[in-house]
Amino acid sequence: MVENKDFLPEYCSRPTLILGCGNILLGDDGFGPEVIAYLQAHSSFQEEVSLMDAGTGVIDILFNIALSEVKPRRIVLVDTMESGLPPGKLSLLRLEAVRARPLRTYSQHYLPTSTLLKELQEIGGLEVEILVMEPENIPEEIQPGLSPKAQEAVARACEIIVINYFRR
């Protein structure tokens, strides 16, 4: 089967895909989308990198990649993850480390997303990395806006991304 590249989403056809994950209506959970917005506003990125605010729909994007014959070589997820570190602390992890790392809270989206990422990595040969930030505030009810610690972490996360993925 030959796939027409004119109909491929940009995120399938570029070598590196950086996905900002999270819900902007729930405090620090909006960290990933905020990082993507900051990069789009303050960085000039090459055609090799695709930036995408995945919001809460990352599983749909990953499923599209899994079904596509053309895939990025690398996927970087930017998200929050509660693991007991100080608020605002950033960690760049391989997929294996995320699955092995003890979490303070359980989130339903970790399992389907990590399972599909594992398949993409093992079967599709993709490199998967996850840049996570320890949140300070993820409220139970709608409360948009990042905490001060998360806001400070946005620029630091962007530096990590630019150094590691824009200059490869």
In this prediction, residue 107 carries a pLDDT of 46
pLDDT mean by block of 10 residues, the chain; 168 residues: 65 94 96 96 83 93 91 95 94 78 46 78 89 95 97 96 80
* Tokens read off for 6: 């004119």
In this prediction, residue 166 carries a pLDDT of 77
Phi, psi of 116 (to 5 degrees): -70, -40
Q: Where are the domains of the chain?
A: 10-166
26 three-state secondary structure: strand
In this prediction, residue 5 carries a pLDDT of 58
Helices (H), the chain: 10-13, 31-42, 58-67, 95-100, 110-122, 148-161
In this prediction, residue 2 carries a pLDDT of 45
In this prediction, residue 3 carries a pLDDT of 52
In this prediction, residue 144 carries a pLDDT of 96
The number of beta carbons lying within 10 Å of the beta carbon of residue 28 is 26
- Nearest CA-CA partner of 22 in 130, 156, 94, 103: 130
| Residue ranges of E strands in 33-167 | 49-55, 74-80, 90-94, 127-133
Tokens 């093992």 belong to 122
In this prediction, residue 135 carries a pLDDT of 96
| Residue ranges of E strands in the chain | 16-21, 49-55, 74-80, 90-94, 127-133
Class of the CATH domain delimited by 10-166: alpha beta
Tokens 């630091």 belong to 156
